């Protein structure tokens, strides 16, 4: 059983502790015997999975692969994952391109069963991602908001390198549940926003980003200062929401005035 990483304090203060200690904590996770067994097995056996069916039939390989992309909850859904892996990413009508959550597309791209083009040094790439995700998972056992913040920071840094349109990237945020939670939290959106027409949701997200962050461009949002503002706002609002009702007003003034 893994040991959760607990800061002992939540909100922005806890986030700062996570940032300061992250490098050492990731190194410690990489040396954990359970993690090492998973990454070693993957590196030594992934070459045997010559097609999607062989990958999904090997529980240990599949578990590491899905965890590396934040899709570990899909481990029981073998038939679905096989279809995702076999999808032709060049076909706009293929399953993987019709899914709103683009983590599935990144999984299919990496393994290349549908395209015949596998990520260079797949074993090392997946193993490194698995260790980072495992660190985030352990942080989440102590405080789920911290895990979501770590995930958002990593994903946004990757999004900034894309050539997709801003609308396409916003749709990706809206279709990615962990990322959406951070933006909804930072913008103060209620869960009911998810019931609005998709185009209206897009307008609301972009408008709120302009109002809260001063920009709706992911190139700008991934810049350290803007990214910090996004996460700190998310952390502050989450801390306010978790506080007892009688303390929320005071906490709100204290936390939000410092952003």
In a domain, 215, yes or no: yes
pLDDT in tens, 203-232: 999 999 999 999 999 989 999 999 999 999
- pLDDT tens by residue, the chain, 259 residues: 566 666 667 788 889 999 999 999 999 999 999 999 999 999 999 999 999 999 999 999 999 999 999 999 999 999 999 999 999 999 999 999 999 999 999 999 999 999 888 888 999 999 999 999 999 999 999 899 999 999 999 999 888 888 889 999 999 999 999 999 999 999 999 888 889 999 999 999 999 999 999 999 998 999 999 999 999 999 999 988 876 654 545 554 455 555 6
How far apart CA 73 and CA 131 sit, in angstroms, is 17
Domain that holds residue 245: 164-256
87 and 38 in a single domain? The answer is yes
* Number of domains the chain contains: 2
CA distances from 33 to 4, 36, 127, 141, 173 (A): 15, 5, 14, 19, 34
CA angle 15, 173, 110 (to 5 degrees): 95
169 and 227 in a single domain? The answer is yes
71: which 2 tokens? 């899709």
76 and 120 in a single domain? The answer is yes
Cβ atoms of 149 and 179 within 8 Å: the answer is no
26 and 87 in a single domain? The answer is yes
In a domain, 124, yes or no: yes
């Amino acid at each position: 059983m893994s040991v959760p990483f607990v800061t002992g304090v939540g909100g922005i203060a806890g986030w700062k502790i996570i940032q300061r200690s992250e490098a050492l904590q990731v190194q410690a996770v990489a040396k954990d015997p359970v993690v090492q067994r998973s990454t070693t097995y993957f590196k030594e056996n992934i070459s045997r999975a010559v097609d999607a069916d062989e990958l999904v039939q090997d529980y240990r390989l599949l578990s590491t692969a899905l965890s590396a992309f934040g899709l570990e909850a899909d481990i029981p859904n073998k038939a679905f994952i096989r279809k995702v892996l076999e999808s032709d990413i060049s076909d706009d009508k293929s399953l993987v391109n019709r899914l709103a959550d683009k983590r599935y597309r990144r999984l299919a791209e990496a393994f290349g069963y549908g395209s015949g083009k596998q990520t260079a040094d797949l074993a090392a790439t997946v193993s490194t991602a698995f260790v980072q995700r495992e660190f985030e998972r352990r942080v989440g056992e102590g405080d789920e908001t911290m895990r979501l913040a770590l995930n958002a920071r990593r994903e946004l840094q990757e999004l900034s390198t894309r050539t997709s349109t801003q609308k396409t990237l916003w749709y990706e945020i809206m279709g990615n549940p962990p990322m959406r939670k951070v933006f909804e939290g930072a913008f103060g959106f209620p869960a009911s926003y998810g019931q609005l027409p998709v185009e209206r949701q897009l307008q609301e997200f972009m408008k709120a980003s302009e109002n809260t962050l001063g920009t709706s461009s992911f190139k700008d949002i991934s810049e350290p200062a803007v990214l910090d503002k996004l996460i700190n706002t998310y952390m502050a609002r989450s801390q306010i929401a978790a506080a007892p009702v009688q303390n929320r007003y005071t906490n709100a003034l204290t936390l939000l005035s410092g952003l």
